[in-house]
Structure 1
Amino acid sequence: MGPTDFLLHAMGLLAPALFLAVLLPTGTKVLLRRATPAFPWWVQCVLLLAVGAAVLGGGLWWFGRDGKMATYFTLVMATATAQWLSLRAWR
């Protein structure tokens, strides 16, 4: 596998995490206007991307292949939990 193929595969693997990393803070800003996040928008995106990449990497390691629904469910739950924590919603 050449470097171009590796880059395309990595981008395909991280695409769902990137989508959620941008969607959750943006949706929070639009839908929950009174919510005051602990971090700026771009820090939330980076944090959620890191959480999502870790979950997808763990799912790839655990199942031995990409694209399992259990991994995607865990991705959604982990990024939603990280967003909930960054909003300090427990208070």
Structure 2
Amino acid sequence: MSPLDALWHLLNFLAPAWVVAALVAMLVKLLWRQAIKSQTWRRLALWGGIGGSVGLIAALALFGRDGKMAGYGLMIVAVALPQWWLAFRPGR
């Protein structure tokens, strides 16, 4: 495998987390406009993407392979938690 192939594999592995994070950030900004006006879309998408990437890597380590539904479920939770924390953290 060439370095370019390895890069494409890595990017395709992480793409679902970043796309879901961007969509969730957009929906959060749309649905809770007043409650979340202090947070930017980019910040929500960035932290959601990082969380989703960690979730995918954890699922890969836990299950030994990519593409399991439980792994994608873990990714969804890992995308939602940082965005929830930024938007609705307790004591805010």
TM over 0.5: yes
1:10 corresponding residue in structure 2: 10
SS at match of 1:57: helix
How many residue pairs match? The answer is 91
For 1:41 and 1:11, locate their aligned partners in 2 and report how far apart those are by CA, in whole Å: 22
State whether residues 14 and 56 of structure 2, in contact with CA within 8 Å, keep that contact through their aligned partners in structure 1.
yes
CA-based RMSD of the aligned residues comes to 1.7
Deviation at 1:78, TM superposition (A): 2.0
For 1:63 and 1:37, locate their aligned partners in 2 and report how far apart those are by CA, in whole Å: 38
The alignment-based identity, stated in percent, is 35
2:34 corresponding residue in structure 1: 34
Q: Which runs of 5+ in 1 are unaligned?
A: none
1:66 corresponding residue in structure 2: 66
TM-score by length of 2: 0.85
Q: Which runs of 5+ in 2 are unaligned?
A: none
